[in-house]
Amino acid sequence: MVQKLETLVETPSQTAGPYVHIGLMPTYAGNPGYYHEEVGSSPIAEGAKGEVIEITGQVFDGTGWAMRDALIESWQPDAAGIFPGQSGADPAVSGLCRFAADAESGLFTLRTVKPGAVKARGGRLQAPHISLWIVARGINIGLQTRIYFDDEDNSIDPLLARIEQRPRVETLIAKKTAPGRYHFDIRLQGEGETVFLDI
Amino acid sequence: MTEILDKGPLIPRNREMHPDPYFPDYKTSVARSPKQALLSMESGHSEETGPTFGHGLIGALDNNLILNWSKDGTPAIGERILVHGRVLDENGRAVPHTLVEIWQANAGGRYRHKKDSYLAPLDPNFGGCGRTLTDAEGRYQFLTIRPGAYPWPNRGNDWRPMHIHLSVYGHSFGQRLITQLYFEGDPLIDRCPIAACIRNRSQLDSLVAPLDMNNSRPLDFLAYKFDIVLRGRRQTMFENRLEGM
């Protein structure tokens, strides 16, 4: 016999299902006024430092259909690369946003400030990025990915450097379409499949 | 002795303990599961930080679903239950002051959502969502109505077991988890393709809340206990890597 390992096992994930919005985005689900304040309605408040940007896109399933029921959360640091809760963080950046694909068009919009580069363990820099977490009916465990920006130096980034198939790097990079505007599509499966992360 | 300034990276997720992303009996998963392998890397600030929520966010009735949609104080119809438990990490430590959100159907299995067209009626006094923060010991509780089972268009005659959806943050974005609570003794659990996506039986059992008579209140409500375990962090004296994220 050996000593007992006193560790617990993480609770298993289950799909968020088709009605995830009633719990996490009540107003979007058609139930306004449920809470006096909804979680993650904007990642920035008035006066947030940095460039305000808008990222639009769609989430496609394996058939190429733009999903209408996806719910996405984003998490990011402020314009200086400091996360909420870390010392020196911009108090006007809460960092979290919940947004949904439009029920008619499947289009989503994330309005935020462009994040700064983040220092990694050991001081190495990561290129500016926004973390995403995608849940929906049919997704059994939330999908993690990142948005990078095509007008930044992404060659420094350790995570992007690890992608062996170089054409797949493009799936994580938002394309600038106009000043302050970017486009970022997410493909769950098949051709052009977005790189999803296990971190 | 060096002071530990770095709480350490998140313990990698053991994906064998989670549902299979591709599970054909759950038909929607077929086109919504990635075909390529996930890219793994040690966690960094992006995953080890996360949102915090103050008590000012939570309204007085936010964790009382029996009353929080009622306009005139009339309680929702159905079996009154207390759902309570603790949020812990894999190291067995409590996760205090973290946001727990739930949503569910009413006693007849109908959701208050514009896309739900099931013929069971809405309850005018039941909205079906709630939220709370765990206390200093990681405890949470909700007062609600036991949700009904409902049919869904998957295979010819599929019915979801009674369940409550739960969403938890923990203290970092990399701990983010959504799951479902099932109820002890429900015969539909073993017929459900969504539950069956979890291959490990003891893991599926960990989603089944036992009846907890000790915490029920006589002549008022029954109780069910549901503990949640989130990813932990590797706590080490030797966090001296210079490379990484």
Q: Is the pLDDT of residue A60 over 60?
A: yes
Measured CA to CA, the distance from residue A75 to residue A94 in angstroms comes to 9
User: Which of B38, B173, B195 lies closest to A131 in CB terms?
Assistant: B173
pLDDT grade for B53, boundaries at 50, 70 and 90: very high
A6:B92 CB<8 A: yes
Measured CA to CA, the distance from residue A10 to residue A147 in angstroms comes to 27
**Chain B neighbors of A20, CB-CB under 8 A:** 103, 165, 178
What does the CA dihedral A190, B192, B202, A198 come to, rounded to 10 degrees? 20
Q: Is the pLDDT of residue B242 over 50?
A: no
pLDDT of residue B194: 98
B51:A40 CB<8 A: yes
Q: Is the pLDDT of residue B110 over 80?
A: yes
pLDDT of residue A121: 72
B45:A34 CB<8 A: no
Q: What percent of chain B has pLDDT over 90?
A: 90
Nearest to B225 by CA among B214, B238, B240: B214
Which residues of B are identified as catalytic? 111, 150, 160, 163, 165
A141:B18 CB<8 A: yes
pLDDT of residue B244: 43
pLDDT of residue B204: 98
Q: Is the pLDDT of residue B1 over 50?
A: no
**How confident is the model over B9-19, as a mean pLDDT?**
96
Instruction: List the single residue in B with minimal CA-CA distance to A71.
Output: B178
Strand-pairing partners, residue B152, are B158
Distance from CA of B154 to the nearest CA of A (A): 11
Strand-pairing partners, residue A186, are A59
pLDDT of residue A119: 83
pLDDT grade for B238, boundaries at 50, 70 and 90: low
User: Is there a contact between B179 and B206 (Cβ–Cβ < 8 Å)?
Assistant: no
A139:B33 CB<8 A: yes
pLDDT grade for A175, boundaries at 50, 70 and 90: very high
| Tens digit of each residue's pLDDT (9 = 90 or more) over A76-99 | 999 999 999 999 999 999 999 999
pLDDT of residue B4: 43
Interface size, chain A vs chain B, as Cβ–Cβ contacts under 8 Å: 284
Q: What percent of chain A has pLDDT over 70?
A: 100
User: Which of B18, B115, B204 lies closest to A18 in CB terms?
Assistant: B115
Nearest to B215 by CA among B207, B228, B227: B227
User: Which of B31, B229, B232 lies closest to A11 in CB terms?
Assistant: B229
Cα–Cα distances in angstroms (integers) from residue B19 to residues A16, B83, B132, in the given order: 13, 24, 26
| Tens digit of each residue's pLDDT (9 = 90 or more) over B137-165 | 999 999 999 999 999 999 999 999 999 99
Q: DSSP string covering chain B, please?
A: --------PBPPP-GGGS--S--TTSGGGTTSS-SSPPEE----HHHH------GGGS-TTTTBTTTTT-SSSPPPSS-EEEEEEEEEETTS-B--S-EEEEE---TTS--SSTT---SSPPPTT---EEEEE--TTSEEEEEEEPPPPEEESSSTTEEEPSEEEEEE-TTSGGG-EEEEEEETT-TTGGG-HHHHT---HHHHHTTEEPB-GGGSBTTTBEEEE--EEE--B---S-----S--
| pTM score, whole prediction | 0.95
pLDDT of residue A124: 83
| Tens digit of each residue's pLDDT (9 = 90 or more) over A179-192 | 999 999 999 999 99
